Amino acid sequence: MASFVSVPSPHFHLSFRELPPPSSTLYPRRFEVYHRRFSIKCSSSKPEDVIDSAPSLSSSSSSSSTSEVSIDTSTYSWYTGLGGIGMLDTAYLTYLKLTGSDAFCPVGGGGACGDVLNSDYALVFGVPLPVIGFVMYGLVTALSAQLGEGNLPFGISKTNGRFALFAATTSMASASAYFLYILSTKLSGSSCMYCLVSAFLSFSLFFLSLKDVKLQEIQQVVGLQVCLAIIVVASLTASYSTAQAIPSRSGDIELPYYSTEITTSSSPYAVALAKHLNSIGAKMYGAFWCSHCLEQKEMFGREAAKVLNYVECFPEGYKKGIKIYKACSEARIEGFPTWMINGQVLSGEVELAELAEMSGFTLDQANEANQFK
């Protein structure tokens, strides 16, 4: 659109003065402009529109920016709120786990929650699962609060902060999905309201982080999500591969105590090893219904198994209302069988050679046993 110079008439003033010719020669009359004042401006064909449009554009930009900041602040407030609730939930579970107290469970009773907390699946590489959950919820809460204020520590950019938040929530959601699978298969019959609340919070945080992903970041995010899920599931599977879970306690399960029969005979080596383990105070903790405990005894054989310092954790049978034997509870036994040798804990079935090495059973002692035979 062409532009032009407009000269508003109210600002343009002319004064005229007539000059006589210097001679008789006729000249056209001349006029001299001796005073003039111009007020000139450059504009388009609709100058008023341009003047009005500038404030409008600025106002629109400012409004958009304010709206975006408001949305970010609101989203991170949700992160902080949900993370705070998760911290309270896992802090209570951590207290129950470390003190051995019964949980207040309006759904399923305190025993049902205790079944889950006292199972092998409540530990990840020896670390109580609620402690890990508390740390992760704390990380999400702190990180989201910093992102909301736009004041990240150590010079971390907001983009990297968002990716860190997404990585944390993805790990938590993957772990929660795995634990829900465990709860429905390995611990069927048990329920844990606090565990379900934690899973709900983890999934909520994960979906919030997905909402924050931009279109151009989808490829990176999907790759990160798959890698983290694989790492989390593989780590948990490796952690749970060596220990056996305590069966869930419910009204439908009632096992009276019964003695198990060992069918194999003992070798002199096994008898000597069993005597050595007994002499140094090594203990094997087990349960009468545990098939792995029976298989461990079968490794020793009938004669040697009688020499072992074996602690039965359910001498009165297994049913709702009966707690684990006090000696097993004080030793914080989480699965069966569990060996305690010279202050070290071994979970699951252990080969005789490994037991000999852990207990300091020497080759000379084994040779003496063979000579005794």
Which residue among 240, 275, 308 closes a domain?
240
> What is the CATH classification number for the domain harbouring 364?
3.40.30.10
Q: Are 259 and 233 members of one domain? A: no
pLDDT in tens, the chain (373 residues): 444 444 454 444 444 455 455 544 444 444 444 444 444 444 444 444 444 444 443 444 444 444 444 446 778 888 889 999 999 999 998 888 888 777 776 554 445 567 777 777 888 888 889 999 999 999 999 988 888 887 777 778 887 888 888 889 999 999 999 998 888 887 766 677 888 899 999 999 988 887 767 666 676 777 877 898 899 989 888 888 755 544 444 445 678 888 888 999 999 999 999 999 999 999 999 999 888 899 999 999 999 999 999 999 999 888 766 778 889 988 888 889 999 999 899 988 899 999 999 999 987 766 665 555 5
C-alpha 325/C-alpha 341 separation (Å) is: 20
Which residue among 240, 272, 287 closes a domain?
240
Q: Quick one: pLDDT at residue 11?
A: 47
User: How many folded domains does the chain comprise?
Assistant: 2
Assess if residue 5 is contained within a domain.
Answer: no
Q: Are 149 and 228 members of one domain? A: yes
Q: pTM surpassing 0.75?
A: no
C-alpha 259/C-alpha 314 separation (Å) is: 12
Assess if residue 132 is contained within a domain.
Answer: yes
Note down the domain range covering 298.
254-372
Which residue among 240, 268, 288 closes a domain?
240
Assess if residue 49 is contained within a domain.
Answer: no
Q: Are 76 and 197 members of one domain? A: yes
C-alpha 233/C-alpha 70 separation (Å) is: 37
